A and B are shown apart, each in its own frame.
Chain A
Amino acid sequence: MVDIIVLIKQMPDLEQVKPDPTTGEPQLKNVPLKLENLSENSVEEAVRLKEKYGGKVTAIIFGNEQSSAILKKAYAMGADEGHIITGFKGNNPSLTAKVLGEKIRALKHDIVILGNQSADSISGLLAGKIANHLGIPLLGNANSIEVSGSTVKVKRALEENNQIIQADFPVVISVTQEINEPRLPPVMQIMQAGRKPINTEAATLTGREVKVLSNKAPKSERKKMVFEDVDKGIAEIVKVIREESR
């Protein structure tokens, strides 16, 4: 039996986000939220571990009322319990780790699973900071997870070598996209997910928040030259490249 906590987050669907043509700020209005990619892998892995070894999967998400749809997705995939922590923006990973760490401490946990970096903020710091906050080992960038008794073994692909590392419960594990292919939840579970209770609580934070002052798409100044005639075009392109590289 393994008690697993999976940390998930919601994010706007990046395919549908367009920068405002005048300000360069992303237009987030009407963009649907989705379960962040690696969070989906994390839930999948947590559920697979539960299916294999028995136990319980608890999902925690920062968010608002909208997040219940995301949490229900985790339920549909097989999570047993879910907590929404509201009133927190989370631009400072240290603070985020603190809030999450306190919540985790209050719950039974053998393994804490999360993505190694989220698709929107890409800091990659959270796993380490949570492990640090809880004072437990971090097994980072896992490609596979294996449990025996109260020991957990993790395979990780590093730049030049493949590593297998091991630690005793409790641990924090950050996972990569390669760890699994997230499932398509069966309909019965989707329908049952709608009826499962959701625990919501407000974040109690102490600490300094990082403010985002500006978030703009970089300006790219393309020359937009189109050469219809291939033969002439090649000569032109060569000329342009020569001039530009000077």
Chain B
Amino acid sequence: MYVFSIIVLIGLLLSAGFFLYTIYRLLWNAVKIPEKKPGLKLQLGRRIYLVIRNVFLQAKLFKDLGGGIMHALMFWAFIAFASYSSDFFVSAIFPGTNLLSGTFEQVAFFTVDIFAIIALLDVVYAFIRRWGIKIKRYQGYNGFEAWFILSLVGILMATYYVLSVLRLDGVSANIPGSIGENLAAANTPVSYALASVLPKVSATTGYYIYWTAFTIHAADFIIFLAYIPTSKHLHLFAAPFNVLFAKEDQAILKPIDFEKETRFGATDIRDFDWKDYFDFYACTECGRCTANCPANLTGKTLSPRDIIWDIREVVVAQGTEYRTRGGDRDQVFKTVIGEPILEKDLWSCTTCMACVEQCPVMIDHVSKIVDMRRSLVLNQGKAPREVIDLTRNIEQYGSPYTIDPSTRADWAAGLDVVDLSKTPDAQYDVLYWVGCVASFDKRNQEIAKSVTKILKKAGVNFAILGSQEKCTGDPARRTGNEYLADMMIKGNVETLKANRVQKVITSCAHCFNSLKNEYKDFGIELEVHHHTEFINRLISDKKLSVKSLDSDTLEKYTYHDPCYVGRYNKLYEEPRDVVKSFAANYEEMEMNKSKSLCCGAGGGRLWMEEKEGTLISHKRIEQADKVNATTVVTACPYCMTMLDDARKTTGREDKMKIQDVSELIAGRID
């Protein structure tokens, strides 16, 4: 064997050993520390689809087009290099031997030769993005790691070309112990072009250039391999698995079995499951989550990226301590709340799911944040004052308001609505779940009245639960009080069953999500429709005829996506179709559909004061103003409350209206 072969072999073994050992340590943490299970289902088809879509096709990356294209090309270059690098090391260690041959070799070399130049350009582009145009989300995060890894990639590609040119020129074939044989020009077009412009070198010079390039190339790869698992580049390994293991219902909360469980919510790293650990490991600190977080965008310190990354650092530190020294788990695993995760950051979250939607590697930030809220509320009774009041009201009155629950259906007085509290034996096809805000809040009662008018006009045989209806538990749930939520949900499930409810429509985005996605964990399967979806169908089925706008109207419409209708339930087109059924003058706001900006009310924030930074709702109303909208259409009483307030407090009362989809239609069907 040649000296170089031996050095490369030892280097590679050391590096691979270190790589595997580090991965082992990380997996050890994920297996030994958690005390909760993720409860994953097999769902093989869905998982294969996810891996193809989100790993091989890099689909979620393109939500940020520039960064997405850059990353996808780099990813594909890495795939291309996998076969080349294997071949390289086989030839380096056993000169004269090749892993690849025939057509496979030709294809592999062709792709690598093309992708190497793409990767090189990519590296330059990445440098420009981070240090040239200074894209905000990168700033302040592991600049050294980025610089180091980009340099490694750049050098790897550059030395690849040096070696290839020498191979094309026939220099390396004459060097004893080299990787080798001559390359065919047709298979390596970029290298061939380079060879044709670069001066030819003598055998001796070639010898030195070859071994220098070879050493750098091999060393680069060896360092890279060892570096991956200790840096944010662990995502090369962890992200594909994280996508593979992704839960079907991200940001959908799971119940707590209060009879069996003893640890409530997430206090320390024992309270995250092994899938959560993959979330931590897969994070690349790309910052797309934080760049789209409504709280962060309005000057609050909450950063979903930091939440994930900070816990990852705790996992690595406490995991190492526990693995090497063992000891009492209660001593080793200290709470993550307070330090490094600030309590106020946990309460700033609107659970809007923008972070989850954006994350290319499918991390679920929201359920972790709610889990930490659960820890505070359930274990310590700790919550902002307003949340405690909210909790008391839900407990005492079955709604977030200090209002006599027997008056819940007062909005329907004189509207001739079937109230199951008064006529329990009434026959009906659909239950209209009104929700607390539309039941008790003056402005939002208009939504309940409008929905009623529409359903009646379309001849839908519907009923309401009246005073039997109670808060779905969503505000309690999202503010961490699972105990109360559990009580509310179980109570409602009983009521729904007692009234033989099967089909539900609701005009509240939060009730909609709860009833549709979360009640099944409590033993009831319902067919649930959001009112926008239902109204859209009534229009397309010609059950409603909607008067179109006068052609000379100056009205201009835009639509604000409620998070729990859009991101949570993917209803983006239905509400828009309803608006466009009569209005031609329509324009999207800057942030729309899956990138829509939250109104600021989710996650129980409707009942909390927004003290830090500026108001999210103000930012949203400014976006609406930018497209000169005179009517902002929305589809959730929470959004209505926030935006209507923002409209007034920013002095836009005279030029802008906020309307629910139902109100728009109710006014055009007479």
Contact = CB atoms under 8 A, between A and B. Distances in A.
Given A15-B397, A181-B385, A187 B403 contact: no
Interface string B467-489: 00000000000000101000000
B404 A16 contact: yes
23 contacts: A15-B396, A15-B402, A15-B403, A15-B404, A16-B397, A16-B404, A16-B405, A16-B406, A18-B404, A34-B396, A181-B385, A181-B388, A184-B391, A184-B481, A185-B381, A186-B378, A186-B379, A187-B258, A187-B378, A188-B378, A188-B379, A190-B483, A191-B258
Nearest to A17: B404
Nearest to B378: A187
Interface in B375-413: 377-383, 385, 388, 391, 396-397, 402-406
A184 B377 CA distance: 8
A183 interface: yes
Nearest to A76: B381
Shortest 6 CB-CB contacts between residues of A and residues of B = A184-B381, A187-B378, A187-B483, A183-B381, A186-B381, A16-B404
B396 A32 contact: yes
Contacts, number: 39
Contacts of B402: 15
B264 interface: yes
A175 B405 CA distance: 31
Contacts of B405: 16
A188 B381 CA distance: 10
Contacts of A16: 397, 404-406
Given A181-B388, A184-B381, A188-B378, 7 more contacts: A15-B402, A15-B403, A183-B388, A184-B382, A186-B380, A187-B483, A188-B379
Nearest to B379: A186
A13 interface: yes
Interface residues of B, number: 21
Nearest to B374: A187
Contacts of B264: 187-188
A13 B396 contact: yes
Q: Which of A181, A187, A191 gathers most chain B CB within 10 Å?
A: A187
A184 B396 contact: no
B262 to A, nearest CB: 8
A72 to B, nearest CB: 14
Contacts of B381: 183-186
Interface of B: 258, 264, 377-383, 385, 388, 391, 396-397, 402-406, 481, 483
B265 to A, nearest CB: 10
Contacts of A185: 381
A111 to B, nearest CB: 23
Contacts of B406: 16
Contacts of B258: 187, 191
Interface string A179-200: 0010111111011000000000
Contacts of A13: 396
A199 B404 CA distance: 33
Nearest to B387: A184
Nearest to B402: A15
Q: Which of B264, B380, B405, B483 gathers most chain A CB within 10 Å?
A: B483
Interface in A114-157: none
A159 B385 CA distance: 27
Contacts of A181: 385, 388
Nearest to B397: A15
Given A13-B396, A15-B397, A184 B404 contact: no
Nearest to B383: A184
B422 to A, nearest CB: 15
A188 B404 CA distance: 30
A191 B382 CA distance: 17
A184 B379 CA distance: 10
B444 to A, nearest CB: 20
Contacts of B391: 184
Interface string A1-32: 00000000000010110100000000000001
Contact of A187 (B379, B385, B397, B404): B379
A16 B382 CA distance: 28
B486 to A, nearest CB: 10
B88 to A, nearest CB: 59
Nearest to A30: B406
B376 to A, nearest CB: 10
A13 to B, nearest CB: 6
Interface string A77-102: 00000000000000000000000000
A184 B378 CA distance: 9
A230 to B, nearest CB: 17
A74 to B, nearest CB: 14
Contacts of A34: 396
Nearest to A189: B381
A188 B267 CA distance: 15
Contacts of A18: 404
Given A13-B396, A15-B397, A184 B403 contact: no
A32 B395 CA distance: 11
A184 B388 contact: yes
Interface in A187-233: 187-188, 190-191
Interface string A31-67: 0101000000000000000000000000000000000
A183 to B, nearest CB: 5
B447 to A, nearest CB: 24
A16 B402 CA distance: 9
A159 B391 CA distance: 33
A38 B637 CA distance: 34
A191 B383 CA distance: 19
A185 B264 CA distance: 14
B373 to A, nearest CB: 12
Contacts of A191: 258
A190 B379 CA distance: 10
A185 B481 CA distance: 11
A35 B264 CA distance: 26
A162 to B, nearest CB: 24
Contacts of A187: 258, 264, 378-379, 483
A39 B381 CA distance: 19
Nearest to A34: B396
A187 B377 CA distance: 8
A82 B258 CA distance: 25
B346 to A, nearest CB: 16
Q: Which of B258, B378, B380, B381 gathers most chain A CB within 10 Å?
A: B381
A15 B397 CA distance: 9
A34 B402 CA distance: 14
A190 B383 CA distance: 17
A187 B397 CA distance: 20
A34 B405 CA distance: 15
A242 B40 CA distance: 75
A188 B380 CA distance: 9
A168 B391 CA distance: 39
A190 B484 CA distance: 11
Contacts of A183: 381, 388
A34 B397 CA distance: 11
Contacts of A190: 483
A18 B406 CA distance: 11
A195 to B, nearest CB: 13
Nearest to B403: A15
A183 B388 CA distance: 8
Contacts of B388: 181, 183-184
A66 to B, nearest CB: 16
A187 B375 CA distance: 10
Contacts of A15: 396-397, 402-404
A15 B396 CA distance: 10
A207 to B, nearest CB: 35
